[in-house]
Structure 1
Amino acid sequence: MRTGHKMKNAALAALLLGIVAAGASQAFAQSASEPQAALIEKGRMVATGADCMACHTVPKTGKPFAGGYGIVSPLGTIFSTNITPSKTAGIGNYSEADFSRAVRLGIRKDGAHLYPAMPYSAYAEMTDDDIHALYTYFMNGVEPVDTAPKQETALPFPFNVRLSMAGWNLLYAHKQPYVEDTTKSAEINRGAYIAGALGHCSSCHTPRGLLMGEDGSAFLSGGFVGPWYAPNITSDPVSGIGGWSEDELVQYFRTGHADGKNQAAGGMAEAIQNSLQYLPESDLRSLAKYLKTVPAIRDQADDQPAHAFGTAHSDEANIRGVYGPNEHNSLRNGEELYSGYCASCHQPDGAGSENQAYPSLFHNTATGAGEPANLVAAILNGVERTTGEHEVLMPSFGPGSYVTPLSDKQIADISNYVLKRFGNPKAQVTMEDVAVARGGGSVPLLAKMQPYILPAMAAAALVVVLAGCILAFVLRRRSKASVAIG
């Protein structure tokens, strides 16, 4: 009986120990999963701040981070890759070191170099903590997609030689993980980190040189991105955002619109739609505070801020009744074209809709800027962005328009009318300007040189071979002559 009693006690003790152990194990798992969940969430916010979604997801139809989005560059279209944790089509086999090397140095796991359409030269400033959180998110918080993008990058020679990026990196990719400036406030440091390491603002807002590297002496002073112009966002009160209040900047980051200032379109609309609108208020304020400290750079052609131009004006009284109601080709100049295609949304006097979903055309940087590229690009490509529950849509009047495609002359005429009546009257748009924008923007010298690079290399090689043959011939003759003399 005693033995049986002891066995029962032992069994009961084992059961209790098992229950305690199971409880402890569950408690440990819970405590381990909570930090993991927090780390994944932090990584998700880092990915949001870095705007990874914009380039690695095909808009509307693609799965998150599955790649295949075509990034049009002056050197050719670069297709983004699958960065889901798929082990067959994505980055599932990347270690954290591999991941960090790709994100911060632009070198894939297989050793091949990435093109700087992936802004690794800016991501190089990301901290180790953020890289760790980002890696954790992509490996544990993103659904794997086991399908590779249908299209791969195939740039023309010599741009398809990825090893050449090693030389480019030596010239332009030399940043290190961000170190706080102890002379600046925590907010300014945070803003600098968001603008530099995560938001890579300079990738668009800094002009580029011959080899497509950023011009450090003109930091954030504005630059072309295809047909769009990323404006000066230094602290200059005339050419930059010095005349914007902090609240106006925050409103713009959150909604893509700031009354009496500007509205986001093109790549900036994508950045706000996919990234900035989801950042916490503190981050947006830090970004605004930082931009207000960026050294001012002024375009000497600017004599007043772009948002200060223009007043309400209507020419409807002058054109009503000039043509019969059924007369063909009755929109023959800028004011008539504006009345027919623009006034229904932007109002005959250019004041825009009451809620400014269709913005005022005066006190608007798109019409008041000395460079009218964004006005032309907006007409050609339209404007589309969604922030919160609000969708803004301006139809395009370029190829494939579901409204009415307009010719280069018609777009130039509308643009010049808008500039004269509502914007900067010194700015002018030509048919050639529209044609360039329609073709994707001006072509940089490096791209213009591309057809001649291979022939030039062949010619140079031929010159080297001929020079070698001549040198060998001369040396042989000298050798024979010395032998004969001897």
Structure 2
Amino acid sequence: MNQRFFSIRHAFDSVAKNSRALIACAALGLAGAVGTHVTTAMAQQVANSVTPAPAPNSEAALIKQGRLLAIASDCMACHTVTDKGREFAGGYGIVSPMGTIYSTNITPSRRAGIGNYTEAQFARALREGVRADGAHLYPAMPYTAYTGMTDRDVHALYTYFMKGVEPVDEVPPQTALPFPFSIRQSMIVWNLLFLKDRRFAVDPQKSEEWNRGAYLTNVLAHCSACHTPRNMLMAEDLDRGFSGAQLGPWYAPNITSDPVSGIGAWSDAEIVDYLKTGHVIGKNQAAGGMAEAVQNSLQFLSADDLHSIAVYLKSTAPIRTSGESRPAFGIAGRGGDEASLRGTSSQNNVEAPRSGAALFSGYCASCHRPDGAGSTDQSYPSLFHNTATGGLNPSNLIAAILHGVDRKVGDQHVLMPNFGDDSFVQPLTDEQIAAISNYVLQRFGNSNLTVSANDVAVARKGGQLPFLAWVQPFLPVAGIAVLAILAFGFLWGKRRSRRLTAQSSR
């Protein structure tokens, strides 16, 4: 079989980070992009034999390949604090429902980083989530996806981090999660249950393009980490792979091949355009973690690579969201209510009682237009024919108002200001954001949905707590109770044994 390639646009000059989602990575402001190709080490299975792709023939080529793989895998996003300007030095706080997890220093520093790691230790950390000192990493590091990375790609990454990255002798803050999540050894059991430690294997029944898309989607880009729902123990529910998942205040939508709930009704060209630009007119626009993924990584993939991802995603098993009968982008809207506001007073007085129509007119209509049609170039998108307003989950509508949208692609910078607590425009209350959301839904989106002030309050705090985070405050008490019961049972058994021994000796 022929060699398999994926290519990414390479960016060298600067790195800037804006924000991260729970697992999705942060913004890389990458300048000076040039086109290139890099050989992946996707094993080729033919008649039960494996023919590896040829390795780069020099250390410089390995470093270049490793750098490209690091960009495709979003390593810098979580391992760099932008305002400090020290690449891969760690210290970024990843806010999770279990607490804040600080990324580690992965520069070749022997004192603070991974400079003392052997390649085998590096591979184990990448694929199994175990550091050189034996401590277990938390799955905020997506080793459950990287476990599929081939030996040759791991070797290229190792060479890059050891030879192509400047060492930084700075020890990042230590992660200190509350008990019992602070017990890293508990990850041994979690990994036994949920980590499938195996390399990517080419499916000989599928095309080269499909296999390339599968490797990019499932391993390097780790799309499933955000788009697959998780079970009570925070592991991906693979039976519902890519069917959509709540990520804090944001919702990562269904990207299966289902034509109603997923992307089955999208053309391949639309999927490619969305991944490249973060926007498809009449369907969707990237915000939150997806905007960061487009800005940081996906825009630098070649058209062939993006098309291979589209081919793979369109082949996934369709999963229909319960209750959905039409695509979320299918609602045409019913028009605005601007005319009813004419002649009224104090429309810009945020302290006055405000209707959703008045709030929309004051804060939204200047960009999205009173009729919700959006700006001419759709940088500010239409609010109808829009998955954020037409679906069954209003999370992305609420989150966009609370947190705004910030997406840089090429020379275009899409910026919607946020109206949350740190807004430089005007912080809005939970009631006001709920009123705007309901007006938008009634006029332009799914009118069967209603957003409450409590819904906004939950989103403002970071979203619904998963089961493990919800029960965490009770776990120490439960643990003490279990230990007390065990201790009582042990003492009672020992005392009973002594009595029986005494009776038998009489």
Tell me, yes or no, whether TM beats 0.5.
Answer: yes
Match of 1:372 in 2: 394
Match of 1:229?
251
CA contact (8 A) 1:202 1:219 kept: yes
Q: Distance in 2 between matches of 1:326 and 1:443?
A: 35
1:475–1:442 Cα change, 3 Å:
same
Larger proportion of helix = 1
Shift of residue 427, structure 1, vs aligned partner: 1.9
**Native 8 Å contact 1:310 1:368 kept in 2:** no
Per the alignment, residue 451 of structure 2 pairs with 429
Partner of 2:124: 101
Once residues 396 and 386 of structure 2 are traced to their aligned partners in structure 1, the CA distance between those partners, rounded to angstroms, is: 11
Cα 1:325–1:481 change in 2 (3 A) is: closer
Secondary structure of the residue aligned to 2:496 is helix
Matches of 2:347 and 2:321 in 1, distance apart? Answer: 47
Match of 1:83 among 106, 112, 120: 106
Alignment partner, residue 283 of structure 2: 261
Contact 1:362 1:422 in 2 (8 A): yes
Q: Structure 1 residue 283: deviation in Å?
A: 1.0
Q: Once the 2 structures are TM-superposed, how far is the Cα of residue 473 of structure 1 from its aligned partner?
A: 1.9
Amino acid at match of 2:119: E
Structure 1 Cα separation of the partners of residues 91 and 505 of structure 2 = 69
Aligned: 1:289 with 2:336: no
- Which of 132, 144, 150 aligns to 2:155? It is 132
For structure 1, the 5+ residue unaligned runs are 1-31
* Residue of structure 1 equivalent to 2:31: none
1:298-337 equivalent positions in 2, closer than 5 A: 298-311=320-333, 313-323=335-345, 329=351, 332-337=354-359
How is 1:379-458 mapped onto 2 (pairs within 5 angstroms)?
A: 379-458=401-480
* Structure whose alpha-carbon radius of gyration is higher: 1
Q: Distance in 1 between matches of 2:453 and 2:348?
A: 29
What's the secondary structure of 1:378's corresponding residue? helix
| Aligned twin of 2:484 | 462
Q: Which amino acid aligns with 1:53?
A: M
Work out the CA distance in 1 between the residues paired with 2:245 and 2:461. Answer: 18
Partner SS for 1:37: helix
Distance 2:250 2:82 in 1: 19
Which deviates further from its counterpart, 253-262 or 37-46? 37-46
Q: Is the 8 A contact 2:56 2:62 kept in 1?
A: no
The equivalent of 1:11 in structure 2 is none
Shift of 1:483: 2.0
- SS in structure 1 opposite 2:354? coil
Q: Which residue of 1 aligns with 2:203?
A: 181
Instruction: Tell me which amino acid in the other structure corresponds to 1:302.
Output: E
Which residue does 1:479 correspond to in 2? 501
Asked whether the 8 Å contact 2:347–2:362 carries over to 1, the reply is: no
How many residues are aligned here? 452
1:244 lines up with 2:266 in the alignment: yes
Alignment correspondent of 1:56:
79
Asked whether the 8 Å contact 1:310–1:421 carries over to 2, the reply is no
1:144 is displaced (CA, Å) by 2.0
Is the 1:122–1:200 contact (alpha carbons within 8 Å) kept by the matching residues of 2? Answer: yes
- AA matched with 2:482: A
* Secondary structure at 1:404 match in 2: coil
CA RMSD of aligned residues (A): 1.7
TM-aligned CA distance change 1:59 to 1:391, over 3 Å: farther
CA distance in 2: counterparts of 1:324 and 1:301, whole angstroms: 41
Task: List 4+ stretches of structure 1 deviating above 6 A.
Answer: 325-328
Tell me which of 362, 369, 381 is aligned to 2:384: 362
TM-score scaled to structure 2, two decimals?
Answer: 0.87
1:137 is displaced (CA, Å) by: 1.4
Cα 1:327–1:460 shift into 2, 3 Å: closer
Q: Sort the Cα spacing of 1:303 and 1:61 in 2 relative to 1 into closer, same or farther, 3 A.
A: farther
Q: Deviations over 1:413-445 (max 9, x none)?
A: 100110111111122211111011000110111
Cα deviation digits, residues 19-51 of structure 1 (max 9, x gap):
xxxxxxxxxxxxx99732222221111111111
Amino acid at match of 1:99: F
Q: Quote the Cα distance in structure 2 between the aligned partners of 1:394 and 1:245.
A: 27
Q: CA deviation at 1:315?
A: 1.2
CA change 1:334–1:59 in 2 (3 A) is: farther
Q: Is the 8 A contact 2:66 2:157 kept in 1?
A: yes
Percent pairwise identity? 58
The superposition leaves residues 425-482 of structure 1 with CA deviations (integer Å, 9 ceiling, x where unpaired) of: 1222111110110001101111111111111111111111111222222222222222
Q: Name the SS of the counterpart of 2:101 in structure 1.
A: strand
Match of 2:367 among 341, 345, 353: 345
- Change in Cα spacing, 1:278 to 1:327, as seen in structure 2 (3 Å) is closer
**Are 2:66 and 1:66 aligned?**
no
Letter of the aligned partner of 1:409 in structure 2?
E
